[in-house]
Amino acid sequence: MTEMVYGSMPVRATEPVLPRWWRTIDKWSLTSILVLFGIGLLLGLAASVPLATRNGLDPFYYVQRQAFFGGMAIVAMFAVSMMSPDMVRRLGVLGFAGAFVALVLLPFFGTDFGKGAVRWFSFGFASVQPSEFLKPGFVILGAWLMAASQELNGPPGKSFSFALTTVIVLLLAMQPDFGQAALVLFGWSVMYFVAGAPMTLIAIIMSIVGAGAFFAYNSSEHFARRIDGFLNPDLDPRTQLGYATNAIQEGGFFGVGVGEGQVKWSLPDAHTDFIIAVAAEEYGLILVLIILALYGTVTVRSLFRLMRERDPFIRLAGTGLACIFGVQAMINMGVAVRLLPAKGMTLPFVSYGGSSVIAAGVTVGMLLAMTRSRPQGEIGDILFKRGR
């Protein structure tokens, strides 16, 4: 039990890859992700059937696609989790480069699918959202730059990472995709804080963010409409938020029953952005709490394991990956219960979407690779020796 909780079992250098991976991986987090994927397929059986019916497709068309993309995500997660931190860093930097180029080309070759934001490349049989793949690569690159700045005569990595973050946030805001922009900025801020940023500088950055939000509200009709809808005390029951709120209330503690929910017939995004409303209506608060516990398990356990990590790059990258994973889930569910303005953000491993689920698989694979136990002393031992 001690080894499962703390992951401190020694590893032999000659041990084969798979046994070594199994000994060092965080099994609680891995199990939580697999359970979340299973819940996503279960909810997809209910949420996506009405959409397939409206589009004249096979009733389980979207479920089959979700299973296919989810299978690719699980394979990617396992493959990346077996990599060393150096290999993850190379993969992250290369992935970021490709996603960044795609993000720059998006205004010229992208499409909005009628949603008012140019976020996707459409290939007919499938679409790709570059920002989903940009996030894990950005975290890896940002962590590498910040870790390099801590070395003797190292480059000004924190300044470089801030400049890079500013460019990315501006590109995302142009789509507009303020939700992903906020998530990228949050991930950078967490890593910057862990790297030892002064509170004064963080306060200045937050002030700049506030000024940017004010500017966006006054210059973007898309952004202003969502903020006004969130602040309006009178919720229109015919909007997506109105349907979702009513469904959550109808579900109560135990739900109305499997397949008996009605919100999936009214919400066009019931299988993506508002999948938690379907879960709450049909399965009740019980399933919602289970989903919350699963996301909390992955995020909190990862952060605790990273607290003992000695390598600055691993510690920073793992923290950034864990936080953007957990916060994305929090934002999605917060929108559904009207705690946050509408963001158009999926629930990792649960919502339908090829780009989102595959990118989530890569993100969690990187996180699992960073949190694998390694033959090293505790970071507390180093601090204790320095204090003597």
Q: What is the pLDDT of residues 305-363, one digit of tens each?
A: 999 888 999 999 999 999 999 999 999 998 888 788 777 788 999 998 888 999 999 99
Distance CA 289, CA 327 (A): 16
The first and second tokens of residue 71, run together, are 């299978």
Residue 238 pLDDT grade (very low, low, confident, very high; cuts 50, 70, 90): low
Report the chain's mean pLDDT, rounded to a whole number.
84
Instruction: Using CB atoms within 10 Å of the CB of residue 12, give its burial: 0 to 12 exposed, 13 to 18 middle, 19+ buried.
Output: exposed
Distance CA 120, CA 111 (A): 5
Residue 54 pLDDT grade (very low, low, confident, very high; cuts 50, 70, 90): confident
The pLDDT of residue 317 is: 96
Q: C-alpha distances in angstroms, 196 versus 192, 314, 337? A: 7, 15, 35
For residues 17-26, average pLDDT: 90
Distance CA 287, CA 230 (A): 26
At 61, is the secondary structure helix, strand, or coil?
helix
Residue 251 pLDDT grade (very low, low, confident, very high; cuts 50, 70, 90): confident
pLDDT at 184 over 80: yes
Sequence-distant (≥ 6) Cβ neighbours of residue 386 within 8 angstroms: none
Distance CA 331, CA 3 (A): 33
Q: Tell me the per-residue pLDDT of 86-117, one tens digit each, with 9 for 90 and over.
A: 999 999 999 999 999 999 999 888 888 767 77
Q: Return the amino acid letter for 269.
A: D
At 199, is the secondary structure helix, strand, or coil?
helix
Residues in the chain: 388
The pLDDT of residue 274 is: 86
pTM, whole model, 2 decimals? 0.87
Do 227 and 341 contact (CB within 8 A), yes or no? yes
86: enclosing H helix or E strand: helix 85-109
